[in-house]
Structure 1
Amino acid sequence: MSGAPRTGPGFRVWAVPGIGEVVPGDDLAKLIAAAEPGLADGDVVLVTSKVVSKAEGRIVAADDREAAVDGETVRVVARRGTLRIVENRQGLVMAAAGVDASNTPAGTVLLLPVDPDSSARTIRDGLRDALGVRVGVVVTDTSGRPWRSGLTDIAIGAAGVRVLDDLRGGTDTHGNPLNVTVVATADELAAAGDLVKGKTAGLPVAVVRGLPHALHLDTPDGTEEPGARALVRAARDDMFRLGTSEAVREAVTGRRTVRSFTEQPVDPGAVRRAVAAAVTAPAPHHTTPWRFVLLESADARLRLLDAMRDAWIADLRRDGKSEESIAKRVRRGDVLRHAPYLAVPCLVTEGAHHYGHARRDAAEREMFVVAMGAGVQNFLVALAGERLGSAWVSSTMFCRDVVREVLELPAEWDPMGAVAIGHPAVEPAERPARPVDAFVRVR
């Protein structure tokens, strides 16, 4: 929600000396109240997560820090050598899950607070009880940031603070509408506090005064304002959820055959980007054997599918199938008909060598067919990377002449199935685990 104006005469920020060494069981609110009796209504107290972790007993014995990181990791985001960027149990994405081996006795590590927002509320309520002041509290931790070098403090817990200041719907000084501006106020406060706390000065607490827009002390129904957890971007909105190699692996292993689509239109640009990925596949003799016919209009799709269905029904009748059996088969084959976008990959063996020997010529064609499969696999994986579902079905291979005629394709283009493309109507089921050793033979 939008707060008070963000402009003003200025603000003060200062570190609080005299906190001393924090040990498990300490009451941080009482320590802060004893060290900073000058706290006033509307101040924001910034507390380094290290002392919160110590007070809450989040010190664990760990001869191997990596084992502690494993225990706090929910998902590996990126890995470069020994460095791991992970999502931890608090939902934060950071190096080493926030596990810290500094400022703690040898053989131990500090884990982040279990619930930093709850920790912030406890400190806020304790300060109110001890000093009678109504303040905001931010629990901070040091973190790196995508695209930027260097570290800064961010908010991992908050209470009584407007963690996000939503300015959308307002205007700038020139009257232009603000359509996407949501300010991470709690992170700005954390960074301001870090300027005076420092990393090695032994000053784990700071106070900010003079920023009324940053406070959110009351809600109409008495419920808590969302804490710093609101700063964590939801997976569906996170365009950079994985590192490069992890994203490639996720696209490959996460690809599923999708047979049910919504009516949401498919972005033609996304399909063309997938084609660009397809044509990077390996191919024999430096050839480019891939062609993709993209059926973007409903009319083009229906003309092709109607002609293919008629050809299939005629084949089934020649095979002596009953009308009931034919109707069932046609219904099962309707995945292409329900897709909002179709692509027909075609193989062109231009550049193939001709040996005049049946076995060698057959092997030559097989090389091109394998290259076609690699190209289509690239295509399907790239579609998954575009958050599009797909199903590669073989229908066009059984009536290539019909497909060439309807799509007006050259005689040398061999349709190699069709790919149904669209936005999945349901979340695909988890892929069952397949032990690698079942597919490997080592000699």
Structure 2
Amino acid sequence: MSPDSADSTGSAAYRVWALPGIPEVRPGDDLAKLIAASGSALADGDVLLVTSKIVSKAEGRIVEAADREAAIDAETVRVVARRGALRIVENRQGLVMAAAGVDASNTPAGTVLLLPEDPDASARAIREGLRDTLGVTVGVVVTDTFGRPWRAGLTDVAIGAAGVRVLDDLRGGTDAYGNPLSATVVATADELAAAGDLVKGKAAGRPVAVVRGLSHTVTGVRDGAGNGDAADSGDSGTDEGARALVRSARDDMFRLGTSEAVREAVAQRRTVRAFTGEPVDPGAVRRAVAAAVTAPAPHHTTPWRFVLLESPASRTALLDAMRDAWIADLRRDGKSEESIAKRVRRGDVLRNAPYLAVPCLVMDGSHTYGDARRDGAEREMFVVAMGAGVQNFLVALAGERLGSAWVSSTMFCRDVVREVLGLPAGWDPMGAVAIGHPAQEPGARTGRDAEAFVEVR
């Protein structure tokens, strides 16, 4: 097979080269026309790999910035990790990268270069411009340089794409030995970007490369018989774009990992009151318990116990007994039956959860002083340690992608809880935690100004 050709199922060989003759790009330049004027004969099915810097320059994304850090702040949505002056952040395009993609190189002194506002739209504009100018149907990938977790060195990846199948989903197929492929999704656009980086060069003034021989990765290309690609009639507006390469927060197993990410986990810990019917992994709850028992405690004690209600029968027995005790208390308080029914309904968050945990405080190892003041302070120390353990537990559950709601109700009927669950007399139930998969994403949290909670002396 020729390195300049490919069949409909893919090619065993391809060719990649950098385009010569691309001049210095200035704001307002038409990149498609500059590429067309370079003198290279482009063909249907070629893939163009365009460095994001020239896209940013053409789109006027050069800004005055005496302080690059201020520009990074403006482009940052979330700090993922920080070490010294280096910041890994999520930027406004949804990309997680160093310095939000703000670049102070290859731009005049006193200015910085921001990433394209919408790299997928930029790729579509170049693709459509080349179709209009040269009459060719090509794929376009806008690239930028990334570092990668767990790997040394940098490589180019796709941040924008048009007319390219950015992901090749092989799940459902088999390998050469007949083994099923259940998790293989290839990041084709990133592989193309890396191939182009080998020939473009970082400082050689060759910002555009071409890959030929992989036309099966390009949408809207007609074969030799004149048949169009069924997946794309040529309207590049149907492309997913490189946005499809950005893993969602829910599916990102490495979203939480540094001190900044731990703070993010704490911020993302939310009270969830509606759950799906999806079962809860008991192992995930036990891992959260392991996090809970790392909390500080007085006198080198371990005051935490977690009773895990994994069977529906255990949950129903406890909640029915608690409901009856609560109704009896409310009737003694003279509440109306209507008021009682309304209050009891508030406990539905526990009844509707597929999993419950009851944290219990034990005072083993506590000191007795013989006077109310010091004995009261001793118990308070243990209660504070219990609260720290419960918070660890809730945050760890959030890290396991589980929703939770801490409800104080077991504290009002401890004898009932101990009896139903068969707990020792010295175990004090400290509320109950409803656990499950959230039925919907929580709404935005109301912001709180930390300074409002601070007094400095």
Give, in whole Å, the separation in 1 of the partners of 2:47 and 2:438. 46
Give, in whole Å, the separation in 2 of the partners of 1:438 and 1:157. 42
Matching residue within 284, 298, 315 for 2:298? 284
Counterpart for residue 56 of structure 1 = 59
1:201: how far off?
A: 1.3
Question: Which of 162-171 and 240-249 deviates more?
Answer: 240-249
Counterpart for residue 382 of structure 1 = 396
For 2:50, what is the secondary structure of its paired residue? strand
The answer to whether the 8 Å contact 2:292/2:391 transfers is yes
Matching residue within 335, 351, 358 for 2:365? 351
1:276: how far off?
A: 0.8
Give, in whole Å, the separation in 2 of the partners of 1:128 and 1:7. 24
Give, in whole Å, the separation in 1 of the partners of 2:418 and 2:266. 31
Counterpart for residue 252 of structure 2 = 238
Q: 1:158 to 1:316 in 2, by over 3 A?
A: closer
Counterpart for residue 114 of structure 2 = 111
Counterpart for residue 72 of structure 1 = 75
Counterpart for residue 89 of structure 2 = 86
Counterpart for residue 265 of structure 1 = 279
1:253 matched to 2:279? The reply is: no
Matching residue within 436, 439, 451 for 1:422? 436
Counterpart for residue 334 of structure 1 = 348
1:407 matched to 2:410? The reply is: no
Q: 1:135 to 1:261 in 2, by over 3 A?
A: closer
Give, in whole Å, the separation in 2 of the partners of 1:427 and 1:207. 42
Counterpart for residue 3 of structure 2 = none
Counterpart for residue 124 of structure 2 = 121
Counterpart for residue 452 of structure 2 = 438
The answer to whether the 8 Å contact 1:291/1:345 transfers is yes
Give, in whole Å, the separation in 1 of the partners of 2:243 and 2:182. 23
For 1:373, what is the secondary structure of its paired residue? helix
Matching residue within 148, 151, 158 for 1:148? 151
Q: 1:320 to 1:24 in 2, by over 3 A?
A: closer
1:379: how far off?
A: 1.3
The answer to whether the 8 Å contact 1:37/1:131 transfers is no
The answer to whether the 8 Å contact 2:32/2:130 transfers is yes
Give, in whole Å, the separation in 2 of the partners of 1:101 and 1:277. 42
The answer to whether the 8 Å contact 2:47/2:140 transfers is yes
Supply the RMSD in Å over aligned alpha carbons.
2.1
Give, in whole Å, the separation in 2 of the partners of 1:171 and 1:332. 51
Give, in whole Å, the separation in 2 of the partners of 1:332 and 1:28. 61
Deviation digits for residues 85-140 of structure 1 (CA, Å, limit 9, x no counterpart): 22223222211121111111111111222222232233223333433333222221
Give the total of aligned pairs.
440
Question: Which of 336-345 and 388-397 deviates more?
Answer: 388-397
Give, in whole Å, the separation in 1 of the partners of 2:329 and 2:138. 79
Identity %: 82
1:63: how far off?
A: 1.3
Q: 1:373 to 1:193 in 2, by over 3 A?
A: same
Question: Which of 270-279 and 63-72 deviates more?
Answer: 63-72
Give, in whole Å, the separation in 2 of the partners of 1:352 and 1:420. 29
1:329: how far off?
A: 2.7
Deviation digits for residues 38-87 of structure 1 (CA, Å, limit 9, x no counterpart): 32232222221112222222222211112222222233322222222222
Counterpart for residue 5 of structure 1 = 9
Counterpart for residue 4 of structure 2 = none
Counterpart for residue 181 of structure 2 = 178
1:280: how far off?
A: 0.8
Question: Which of 192-201 and 253-262 deviates more?
Answer: 253-262
The answer to whether the 8 Å contact 1:78/1:242 transfers is no
Q: 1:286 to 1:46 in 2, by over 3 A?
A: same
Q: 1:11 to 1:363 in 2, by over 3 A?
A: same
Q: 1:277 to 1:125 in 2, by over 3 A?
A: same
Unaligned stretches of 5+ residues in structure 1: none
Give, in whole Å, the separation in 2 of the partners of 1:118 and 1:369. 56
Question: Which of 100-109 and 71-80 deviates more?
Answer: 71-80
The answer to whether the 8 Å contact 2:32/2:126 transfers is yes
Give, in whole Å, the separation in 2 of the partners of 1:341 and 1:308. 16
Give, in whole Å, the separation in 2 of the partners of 1:318 and 1:41. 83
For 2:381, what is the secondary structure of its paired residue? helix
Runs of 4 or more, structure 1, over 6 Å off, are none
The answer to whether the 8 Å contact 2:11/2:213 transfers is no
Counterpart for residue 168 of structure 2 = 165
Counterpart for residue 293 of structure 1 = 307
Deviation digits for residues 193-214 of structure 1 (CA, Å, limit 9, x no counterpart): 1111111111112121112222
The answer to whether the 8 Å contact 2:219/2:232 transfers is no
Counterpart for residue 191 of structure 1 = 194
